[in-house]
Structure formats: structure tokens, C-alpha cells
């Protein structure tokens, strides 16, 4: 009955949802491309007769988690074909960039009964791997009905999300009990899932897979080559990553104060959404900054103040170039972004007060001494402090690397669970 009401509501609001997506496509044309995939209409000729593992990674954050796991699945299960679904154009581009034709990539179907049914008829997965908390009633119900095993990996559930699910306890309980395994990031997450009706027998605490991020020898070589070719060897590099509207202004004002005391400094500015780069560039030019774009692949000379990152998939490499990292989405009430891309390189981190999406990681980084969590008005003073205090920066660098090393292992524990499900 609850799912019937959910479906009725979904059909009522669906036209508004499509309108919203088409509106978003005015800035990001990717939202109106491959539209039929969202209705489960696919050409799956190349999948016929294959055993399928379906991995769903909704957005950029989930793709970050899924990428190392997908690489391992491709290696460990060469007789299976991997179907990888995403929700956003940006995450779609990242999957295509990382894997090309080695996986079958499409958009996930909308959670409409017909769309999900068409998708499952076309794909016929043996195992569904969901990343973090991507739970949709019709996808879960129909996948379970077909006898497909399901595992929710790197699962997290904040108090806020748990209270939201409690309002729809019937649907939430039905979804959770349909899952074979929930691999949680922490004991706190596990307790919240149990409070929603999940059996403790279905739960395994595997840790946070984000800590399994590693810098490959190839990536390190690319980083070193970029430093040499771009002329950054002698520059002090501050990288502001995944910034949102309202953050660039504060960052640019802080950088201006840094520049007065350290003329050799340069800011690498990477907006979270690259379609905003034109607006961000105008803001930089309005303050008389000399800006070059990463996509132009031009040498950076002494006159350049800012390198604007207008490409996808390069942030991890560029993080290795930085002497200090500012992680955005945290100086405005967005919830923060992944700080571990800086920690894996041993780059000291500054972040704002709004980190609810990465609450546990933020606490670990702060308590270990790898990150400073500050108010926006204190950004410039802390930047100057870290530039001047090399011993403090070195301690933060070592703390970040140590934290990453001590928390690895979630991916291997998750792969063991998947192996058990596949028999």
C-alpha cells in the first residue's frame, strides 16, 4: 500500500521533475542528452548472454568511491560484464573518462515502475552494488523480485537522514529488508540502519572506502611533469577545490591578503561545477587578477595569479601540486566535499564549518591534526599562518598521510562480501 501511494505521488510530480531537469539543461546540456536511458530504453546488444554486475554511483562523490571498486571488479571478474549507472552528466563524464568501453555505462532509470522494469528486462543483473545511500523503492522492489542479489556498500546514514526515513518507515523498512548486505562505514551508521528495521545479521561494518584512495606511480609522474612544464616549481600553490557560489569571493579576498605578503603565491581555483567557470573567471578579472585556464594547456608565467580549473577528472592530480588546500562546499551551508584527496598527498587542509556530508572524516582529520576547520572570516589569517609556520604545515602533512594509511582496507573487505554473494 505504501509503495502504491509512493508511485501515485511520483506520477503526479513527475512532470515538474522533468521540467526542472530541462531547466538545468540550459546551463548543463548533458541533462537533456540520452534522455531515453532514463526511461530504461537501452541498446543492450553487447550484453546479451552475459553475467552482469550492476554498479550504481549517483553523483561525483559516489563515483569517487566506486572507481577503485569497479577497477577491482573488472580484474576479479573477467567473465562478468559491468553495467555502471549514474544520475548526473558530470558523474557520467567521469565514468566514461575513467573506464571508456571497459564498462557499459548508461543513466540510471527514473524510479517509475515502467522505467525500472524496462531497464531490468534489458540488463538482467545478477548482482546490484549500490553506493552509500542510493535507495529507491521501485528499483529495490523490482530487483529483489527478480532474485538479484543486492549490497549497499560504503553505507552511511546521518541522524538527519535517519529521521527523514522514519517518517516513511513502511517504505524504508521494506527497502532495507530486501537488501542482502549493508556494508556500513561506522558503528554509528549501523545502529541507525538497525533502528529503521534492518536486521543486525544483514550489517557488516567495513569502514570508509574513501580512505582506500591511493596515488599511483603514473599519477605521481603526471603531477611531477605538470609542475615542471607549468613553471610552478618555485611558486607557493594554494588550491581551492570544489568551490560554490559565495565562496569564491571570500577566497579571492583572502588570497589578495596572502599575495601582499607572498608575491610568489598562486591560486588554483577549481569550481565544483565547471559550467560556472565563465562567471568565476569574470569575478577574478573584475579584481584585476591575471587568470589562465587549465584547459588551455599554456605555460604559467610569473604574471599569472590564478589557474582556473575548467576540466573534469584532474583535481586529484592538481591536489598533489598544492602546498595548501582549501576544500569548498564548507564555507557555505552545502555540507562540504571530500578532503581526503588532499590528505592522500599530505597537503595541509583548511575547511569551513559546514561539513555535515563528511562529518566523520572531518572529525578524524581535525583530531589527527591534518586539517583546520575555521570560520570564513579566519581564512586569510590561517593561510598566512600556515605559509609562515613550516613546521606546523609539515606536521599536518604527516598527520594526513598517517590517517589515510591507518584507515585503509574497506575496499578489500567489501570485495570479500561481494565474492560471497556471487558464490
156 near 390, Cβ under 8 Å? no
Distant-in-sequence, close-in-space partners of 371: CB < 8 Å, separation ≥ 6:
339, 343, 348, 349, 350, 351, 362, 365, 396, 400
- Which residues lie across from 82 on neighbouring strands? 53
Q: Which of 62, 132, 247, 341 is catalytic?
A: 62
Distant-in-sequence, close-in-space partners of 141: CB < 8 Å, separation ≥ 6:
3, 174, 175, 178
Cα 107-275-238 angle, rounded to 5 deg: 115
Crossing angle between the packed helical segments 2-24 and 169-178, to the nearest 10 degrees: 90
Catalytic site includes residue 166: no
CA dist list (Å): 44 to 83, 92, 120, 310: 10, 18, 11, 33
Cα 414-90-164 angle, rounded to 5 deg: 60
Indicate if the alpha-carbon torsion angle 267, 296, 273, 106 is positive or negative.
negative
> Is 147 exposed, middle or buried (CB count within 10 Å of its CB: 0-12, 13-18, 19+)?
exposed
Q: Which of 128, 146, 60, 144 is nearest to 97 (CA)?
A: 60
Distant-in-sequence, close-in-space partners of 353: CB < 8 Å, separation ≥ 6:
330, 331, 373, 374, 375
346 near 369, Cβ under 8 Å? no
Measured CA to CA, the distance from residue 251 to residue 71 in angstroms comes to: 36
400 near 203, Cβ under 8 Å? no
Crossing angle between the packed helical segments 187-195 and 159-166, to the nearest 10 degrees: 10
User: What are the residue numbers of the active site?
Assistant: 62
Amino acid at each position: 500500500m505504501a509503495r502504491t501511494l509512493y508511485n501515485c505521488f511520483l506520477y503526479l510530480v513527475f512532470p515538474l521533475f522533468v521540467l526542472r531537469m530541462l531547466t538545468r539543461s540550459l546551463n548543463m546540456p548533458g541533462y537533456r542528452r540520452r534522455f531515453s536511458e532514463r526511461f530504461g530504453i537501452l541498446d543492450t546488444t553487447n550484453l546479451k548472454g552475459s553475467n552482469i554486475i550492476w554498479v550504481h554511483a549517483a553523483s561525483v562523490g559516489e563515483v569517487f568511491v566506486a572507481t577503485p571498486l569497479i577497477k577491482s571488479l573488472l580484474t576479479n571478474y573477467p567473465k562478468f560484464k559491468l553495467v555502471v549507472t549514474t544520475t548526473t552528466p558530470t558523474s557520467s563524464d567521469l565514468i566514461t573518462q575513467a573506464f571508456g568501453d571497459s564498462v557499459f555505462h548508461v543513466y540510471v532509470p527514473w524510479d517509475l515502475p515502467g522505467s525500472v522494469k524496462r531497464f531490468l528486462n534489458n540488463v538482467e543483473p545478477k548482482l546490484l552494488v549500490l553506493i552509500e545511500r542510493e535507495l529507491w523503492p521501485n528499483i529495490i522492489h523490482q530487483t529483489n523480485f527478480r532474485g538479484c542479489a543486492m549490497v549497499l556498500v560504503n553505507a552511511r546514514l546521518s541522524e538527519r537522514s535517519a529521521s527523514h526515513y522514519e517518517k516513511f518507515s513502511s517504505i524504508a523498512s521494506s527497502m532495507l529488508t530486501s537488501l542482502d548486505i549493508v556494508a556500513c562505514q561506522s558503528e554509528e551508521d549501523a545502529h541507525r540502519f538497525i533502528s529503521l528495521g534492518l536486521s543486525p545479521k544483514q550489517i557488516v561494518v567495513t569502514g570508509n572506502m574513501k580512505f582506500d584512495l591511493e596515488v599511483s606511480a603514473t599519477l605521481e609522474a603526471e603531477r611531477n611533469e605538470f609542475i615542471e612544464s607549468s613553471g610552478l616549481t618555485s611558486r607557493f600553490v594554494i588550491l581551492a577545490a570544489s568551490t560554490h557560489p559565495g565562496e569564491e569571493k571570500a577566497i579571492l579576498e583572502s588570497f589578495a591578503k596572502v599575495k601582499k605578503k607572498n608575491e610568489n603565491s598562486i591560486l588554483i581555483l577549481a569550481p565544483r561545477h565547471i559550467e560556472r567557470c565563465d562567471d568565476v573567471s569574470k569575478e577574478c578579472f573584475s579584481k584585476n587578477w591575471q587568470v589562465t585556464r587549465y584547459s588551455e594547456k599554456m605555460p604559467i608565467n610569473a604574471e599569472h595569479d590564478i589557474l582556473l580549473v575548467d576540466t573534469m577528472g584532474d583535481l586529484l592530480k592538481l591536489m598533489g601540486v598544492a602546498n595548501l588546500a582549501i576544500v569548498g562546499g564548507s564555507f557555505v551551508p552545502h555540507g562540504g566535499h571530500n578532503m581526503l584527496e588532499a590528505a592522500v598527498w599530505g597537503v595541509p587542509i583548511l575547511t569551513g564549518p559546514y561539513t555535515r556530508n563528511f562529518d566523520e572524516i572531518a572529525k578524524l582529520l581535525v583530531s589527527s591534526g591534518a586539517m583546520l576547520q575555521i570560520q570564513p572570516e579566519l581564512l586569510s589569517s590561517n593561510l598566512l599562518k600556515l605559509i609562515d609556520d613550516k613546521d606546523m604545515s609539515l606536521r599536518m602533512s604527516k598527520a594526513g598521510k598517517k590517517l589515510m594509511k591507518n584507515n585503509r582496507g574497506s575496499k578489500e573487505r567489501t570485495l570479500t562480501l561481494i565474492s560471497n554473494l556471487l558464490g
